[in-house]
Amino acid sequence: MSRISQCAARARERGRGLLIPYLVAGDPDFDTSLEIMHELVRQGADMIELGIPFSDPASDGPAIQRGVERALGAGATLRGVIELTGRFRANDARTPVVLMGYLNPIETMGYAEFSESCGRAGVDGVLVVDMPPAEAGDLPALLAGREIDRIFLVSPTTTADRAQEIIEHTSGYLYYVSLKGVTGAALDDHGSVARNIAKLRNWTSLPVIVGFGIRDVETALAMNKLGDGIIIGSALVERIAQLPAATSRESAHISEAVALIGSLRKALDAR
Amino acid sequence: MPDAETPFSGPDETGHFGPYGGMFVGETLIRAVSELAGAYAELSRDKEFWKIFDADLADYVGRPSPIYLAERLSDAGNGARIWLKREDLNHTGAHKVNNTIGQALLAKHMGKTRLIAETGAGQHGVASATVAARLGLECHVYMGADDIVRQAPNVYRMKLLGARVIAVESGSRTLKDAMNEALRDWAANVDDTYYIIGTVAGPHPYPRMVRDFQSVIGREARDQFLERNGTLPDALVACVGGGSNAIGLFHPFLGDSEVAMYGVEAAGRGLETPDHAAPLCAGRPGVLHGNRTYLMTDENGQILDTHSISAGLDYPGVGPEHAWLKDLKRVHYVGATDAEALAAFHQLTRLEGIIPALESSHAVAWATRLAADMERGQHILINLSGRGDKDIEAVARIEGADFGTV
């Protein structure tokens, strides 16, 4: 059983909603990302999604775009992101790490080298935003060979036939995009999320995690009730953007930046 | 209208030209592009649709555009005869309108009420705003903040036509960033919005659809040239940014093995420098904006900033069909520098009284070099894809001329 499936099974046993924060790896630099990752776990994150910085993040809203620009400005690369996962893994053998990004950096590295180095570093899942299953080539098989989960998105515009096809290619968890738009946009149609997740339940027993546009405790609770957990991206990246420069930073600044995750953990568990 | 089958016919059912093309978009957009592919597949089999398209091109755009023998330009090179396909004479001043007429008809057919477009030089933005005005559709044009400065007259034209021009401040603030922003808009407004992509790039079906609309250029040119000369030209030359004017000229000739073809990319300050926009000459395959194609990308897969004197060629990718035709060696892809394009801009203006767009000037620059190496009895046909009125301020600025005084 993969680390993601074990993590999801533990949460399911205890009736606990999965809390998955997203950060842009290398924003503002890799050392800070590492500190943030450990602090996220201390405050109650179940898994971590690490964004792979890419110069043209066409599915992302302004908050994550700026995070990506900061990371690239500091010299972040895909190799650096994988290395970061390895450094995290050296001190945390339990928390799953999912890499999320766009295809070009992965294609440039080569699918075989990417899968191999992810396997070595302890990456647990890969989600490529602009790579539908039909265009995935041999990447899923290479990842499966390294026991890395293949995570795909389902959105409000996904048809029933297509959702079932996506599910066949997915392992670990299914990422349900809560809205029509980019990351961090306004999530106001809870009814559509409820209806679509209910349909997905007929076709899969995979955990369904809801992401895009969850910014506060109220929405987080509502979405957690509909799915098996939530992903918090833009709201966290905005707080990371406020961190003081490394020279004048104390560890309290990191825990403050991540406090949103701590309070969401409390709210989800109090349910 | 779709051209007849040749050994170079593409794409396949799923939008692939060999290893290139495809449908690499986020899940939210998959249904939109699939519906578009379905709607276009249906409409492109409908003779009535092509009749309306042809009538609009005749009455509204002013087609057919003529071919013109540039005698003084030819004499200056003392080599092959140089002919121009006069897309600069189209309504709105470039080939771009051929495509926006077709896509706006499709948008209307699909019941969409809101058009969005990206633009670099502003020609596609103007062509989109034009058809939107004519059909009474809302129009939003995304344009890089730097390009807005470079192409001020076109920005004002779009506004006069009733379009909203949105400055894109992210990334390199040019065409690629405008395209990212348009894709984001589309994801947020998929229900009522039609995205008019201005070139033969993007996810399937755009590369095929835009080519079908632009192929009118090559079909006309082929007939016109045969009628005038009884033979086909020995070589075709067109500039390549995304590559819509080039594929429009080339496609109907792909089966004519005696016709050589040259796509001219923007070599900027030189292909040996990092400052150019020539992915086919100096890039490598990758995935951007919905398709796999040659890209300007670094060793970590980040898209590189590009440079060209011409905003319309300042793009790090290129249509996937060009990537395929390069690998098949059917078309030769070459570069012309900023300086060569600028010299050709002046040469054509002074010798023929035709001010070409800076984009098209790249094709003129390469063609005059090519002509000098060919026999006097041979013929080159250049796609003069646009007129240079939009560029005179930029040229004045580059050359330090005092624009507005005599």
pLDDT digits (tens, 9 = 90+) for B224-254: 999 999 999 999 999 999 999 999 999 999 9
| Same-domain status, B198 and B347 | no
**CA nearest neighbour of A135 among A152, A149, A122:** A152
* pLDDT, averaged across chain B: 95
Q: Is A183 on the interface with B (CB under 8 A)?
A: no
Of A60, A62, A158, the CB nearest to B27: A158
Residues of A that are catalytic: 49, 60
Domain annotation covers residue B11: no
Q: What is the pLDDT of residue A108?
A: 98
pLDDT surpassing 60 at residue B12: yes
**Min Cα–Cα distance to chain B from A228, Å:** 20
Does residue B5 fall inside a structural domain?
no
Regarding whether B374 and B287 lie in a shared domain, the answer is yes
Contact B260, B332 (CB under 8 A): yes
Q: Are residues B236 and B343 in the same domain?
A: yes
Q: Could you give the angle at the alpha carbon of B35 between the alpha carbons of B34 and B36, nearest 5°? A: 90
At residue B240, the pLDDT reads: 98
- Report the candidate in B148, B99, B156 with the shortest Cα–Cα distance to residue B119: B148
Smallest Cα–Cα separation from B195: which of B99, B259, B260? Answer: B99
Supply A107's token pair. 């294609």
Query: CB-based contact (8 Å) between B15 and chain A?
Result: no
Average pLDDT value for residue range B168-185: 92
Residues in A closer than 8 angstroms to B284, CB to CB, are 108
- Judged by CB atoms within 8 Å, which residues 35-74 of A form the interface with B? 54-62, 65, 69, 72
Confidence of residue B405 (pLDDT cuts 50, 70, 90): low
CB of A204 closer than 8 Å to CB of A174:
yes
Among B22, B189, B288, whose Cβ lies nearest the Cβ of A56?
B288
Cα B337 to Cα B308: distance, rounded to the nearest angstrom: 8
| Rounded average pLDDT over B116-138 | 95
Q: Are B20 and B82 part of one and the same domain?
A: no
Q: What integer is the mean pLDDT of B299-313?
A: 94
Residues B244 and B357 in one domain: yes
| The pLDDT of residue A18 | 98
For position B147, what pLDDT does the model report?
Answer: 87
**Cβ atoms of B67 and B249 closer than 8 Å:** no
Contacts of B298 (CB under 8 A, 6+ apart): B304
Half-sphere exposure of B171 (CA within 13 A, CB side): 31
Helix, strand, coil percentages, rounded to 5, for chain A:
55, 15, 35
State whether residue B23 sits within 8 Å of chain A by CB: yes
- Homologous superfamily (CATH) of A15-266 is Aldolase class I (3.20.20.70)
The Cα–Cα gap between B237 and B360 comes to 10
8 Å CB contact of B25 and A135:
no
Give the gap in angstroms from C-alpha B249 to the nearest C-alpha of chain A: 30
Nearest to B221 by CA among B208, B242, B236, B211: B236
For residues B327 and B258, state if they share a domain: yes
| Separation in Å, CA of A42 to nearest CA in chain B | 32
What does the alpha-carbon distance between residue A166 and residue A152 come to, in Å, rounded to a whole number? 7
Split into its structural domains, chain B has a count of: 2
Question: Do B302 and A72 make contact, defined as CB atoms within 8 angstroms?
Answer: yes
User: What pLDDT was estimated at residue B13?
Assistant: 93
Q: In this predicted structure, what is the pLDDT of residue A271?
A: 59
Q: Please judge whether A104 and B288 are an interchain contact, meaning their C-beta atoms are less than 8 angstroms apart.
A: yes
Is residue B136 situated within a structural domain? Answer: yes
Helix H or strand E encompassing A176? strand A174-177
| Among B residues 294-353, those touching chain A with beta carbons less than 8 Å apart | 295, 297, 299-303
Domain encompassing residue B383: 63-93+215-398
Please tell me whether residues B232 and B341 are part of one structural domain. Answer: yes
Instruction: Assess whether B342 and B223 both reside in one domain.
Output: yes
Closest CA to B376 of B234, B223, B186, B164: B234
pLDDT tens digit sequence for B84-116: 999 999 999 999 999 999 999 999 999 999 999
> Mean per-residue pLDDT for B185-211?
96
Which chain B residues contact residue A177 at CB under 8 A?
27-28
Q: Is residue B404 part of a domain?
A: no
From B177, B210, B243, give the residue that closes a domain.
B210
pLDDT reading at B406 higher than 60: no
Cβ–Cβ below 8 Å for B14 and A177: no
Residue A212 near residue A189, CB atoms below 8 Å: no
Verify whether the Cβ–Cβ distance A182 to B188 is below 8 Å.
yes
CB proximity under 8 Å: A 203-262 to B: none
**Yes or no, beta carbons of B31 and A185 under 8 Å apart:** no
> Which residues in chain B have Cβ-Cβ distances shorter than 8 Å to A60?
184
A78 to chain B: closest CA residue = B300
How close B347 gets to chain A, by Cα (Å)? 38
Task: Please report the pLDDT score of residue A246 as a whole number.
Answer: 84
Does the pLDDT of residue B403 top 80, yes or no?
Answer: no
Q: Mutual orientation of helices B27-43 and B175-188 as an angle, nearest 10°?
A: 90
Task: Determine contact, residues A46/A19, Cβ cutoff 8 Å.
Answer: yes
Instruction: Identify the residue whose tokens are 């966290």.
Output: A236
What is the phi/psi pair of residue B200, to 5°? -85, 35
Q: How far is CA B226 from each of CA B231, B379, B381, rounded to the nearest angstrom? A: 5, 12, 12
| Domain C-terminal end among B187, B210, B233 | B210
* For residue B142, pLDDT beyond 60: yes
DSSP 3-state of A48: strand
A211: nearest Cα among A199, A219, A203: A219
Residues of chain B contacting residue A135, judged by C-beta atoms under 8 Å apart:
22-24
Judgement on whether residues B146 and B256 belong to the same structural domain of the protein: no
Name residues of chain A where pLDDT drops below 70.
271
pLDDT for the residue numbered A34: 98
Q: How would residue B404 be classed by pLDDT, with cut points 50, 70 and 90? A: low
Give the chain A residue whose CA is nearest to the CA of B171. A55
**One domain for residues B170 and B256:** no
- Letter for the amino acid at A161? D
> Mind telling me how many Å the CA of A62 is from chain B's nearest CA?
9
pTM of the full structure: 0.96
Paired tokens of B95? 């080939």
User: Residue B105 CB: number of other CB atoms within 10 A?
Assistant: 18
Q: What residues does each domain of chain A span?
A: 15-266
Please list, residue by residue across A110-137, b when 16 or more beta carbons sit within 10 angstroms of its beta carbon and e when fewer do: ebeebbebbbebbbbbbbbbbbbeebbe
Q: Is B118 a catalytic residue?
A: yes
Taken in order B390, B235, B99, B60, the sign of the CA dihedral is positive
CATH of the domain at B31: 3.40.50.1100
- Chain B CB within 8 Å of residue A23 CB: no
Residue B336 has pLDDT above 60, yes or no: yes
Chains A, B: CB contacts within 8 A come to 120
Q: How far is A102 from chain B (nearest CA, A)?
A: 9
Percent over 90 (pLDDT), chain B:
89
Domain boundary among the residues B160, B176, B210 is at B210
The residue among B379, B385, B346, B72 whose CA lies nearest residue B238 is B385
B13 touches chain A (CB under 8 A): no
* Chain A residues with beta carbon closer than 8 angstroms to that of B24: 103, 130-132, 135
B258 within some domain = yes
Specify whether B180 is located in the same domain as B199.
yes
Same domain, B202 and B289: no
Flag whether B403 is in a domain. no
CA distances A261 to A11, A232, B137, B259, B405, Å, are 17, 8, 45, 64, 63
Length of chain B: 406
Residue B393 has what pLDDT? 87
Residue B7 lies in a domain: no
All residues at 6 or more sequence positions from A110 whose CB lies less than 8 Å from its CB, including other chains: none
Residue B8 lies in a domain: no
